[in-house]
Structure 1
C-alpha cells in the first residue's frame, strides 16, 4: 500500500464515513492477515479487495459481499443439496462443472440451475 492510511481509514474515506458492516469486516481482516492471505481465502485478487475497501471496485460488489459474509462473517444459506452452507461455499458450488461420476456435484449442478433462490446463474434450467 503506497499511502499511510489504515485499511479502516481507507474504508471510511471511500464510503463517506459509513462503510457497510461487511466492508468493515473485510478491512479488519486485511489489517490483521494481509491482502495476499485474504485474497487466497476469498478467491479475489488483492487489487479487487483493495478497490472494494475504498469503494472503487466496478465489478459485482454483491458477489464480493456474499463471499465476505460467508467466509469471514459465518453467514449461511440453505442449500437444497448440502443443507446449511456458507454463502461463499454456495457461490463456489455454483461454478463447479457438472460431473457425471459424482452424484453430489451432479445434484448441485442441477439445483443451482433450477430455481434455487441463492443462485446467481443466468439462464434457466439446463440440467
Structure 2
C-alpha cells in the first residue's frame, strides 16, 4: 500500500488514540480500520480515504446545494437514499445525480456532466455556473432562484476571502 498523506495521518491518529475511537470518529468499523492499516482491506479504500481527508485533512469541495462541505460529507450525501421529507435532501439527491463535478455517481437528472474549473484555478466561469443552475432547476423557477442565491453567496464568499487575503498580504 502506498503511504499517501491521508494514510500517514490515519496511522498517526491511531498511534495517539485507540483504533476503536478513530473508527467511531470516521464512521467505519474497527475491523475495516484494522484491515486498512495492515494492507489487508479488500473493499474500496476510497471510502476511508475520503473520510480521513475530510475529517483530519480538511479537504473541502464546493457543493452546488450546500456550499463548502468536507469531502467525506460530500461522499455521504451521494450515497444517501432518496427522501422527500426535507427539501435540501431532495436538492442534494438531484445535484449528486445531475452533473455535480464532485459526484462519483451515474447521472440520472441531466444528460451531460458539467465541467467546472478546478479548485486551484481562480477564474470563475459565469456561463458554466448559470448553465449548471438551470439544469439543476429543471424548469422550476423557484428552485432556480434558490440555486442562483446560493451561487451569489458562493461568489461573495470567494470575493471577500480574496479581498481579506490581499489586505493581509500587503502588510
Which bracket does the TM-score occupy, shorter chain normalised? Answer: 0.7 to 0.9
Give the structure, 1 or 2, with the largest relative contact order (CA under 8 Å, sep 6 or more). 1
Preserved CA contact (<8 Å) 1:94 1:119: yes
Matched, 1:59 2:51: no
- In the TM superposition, what are the counterparts of 1:50-89 in structure 2 within 5 Å? 50-89=34-73
Q: Which of these two proteins has the greater Rg computed from alpha carbons? A: 2
Superposed displacement of residue 68, structure 1: 0.7
Q: Runs in 1 of length 4+ with deviation above 4 angstroms?
A: none
Superposed displacement of residue 50, structure 1: 1.5
Judging by fraction of residues, say which structure has more helix: 2
Superposed displacement of residue 114, structure 1: 0.9
Q: Report the number of matched residues.
A: 110
Alignment RMSD (CA, Å): 1.7
Question: Structure 1: any 5+ residue segments left out of the alignment?
Answer: 1-14
Q: Which residue of 1 aligns with 2:16?
A: 32
| Partner SS state of residue 84, structure 1 | strand
Between the aligned partners of 1:118 and 1:101, the Cα distance in structure 2 is 24
Aligned equivalent of 1:110, options 69, 88, 94: 94
Question: Structure 2: any 5+ residue segments left out of the alignment?
Answer: 111-171
Preserved CA contact (<8 Å) 1:23 1:52: no
Between the aligned partners of 1:32 and 1:99, the Cα distance in structure 2 is 39
Q: Which residue of 2 aligns with 1:5?
A: none
Matched, 1:125 2:108: yes
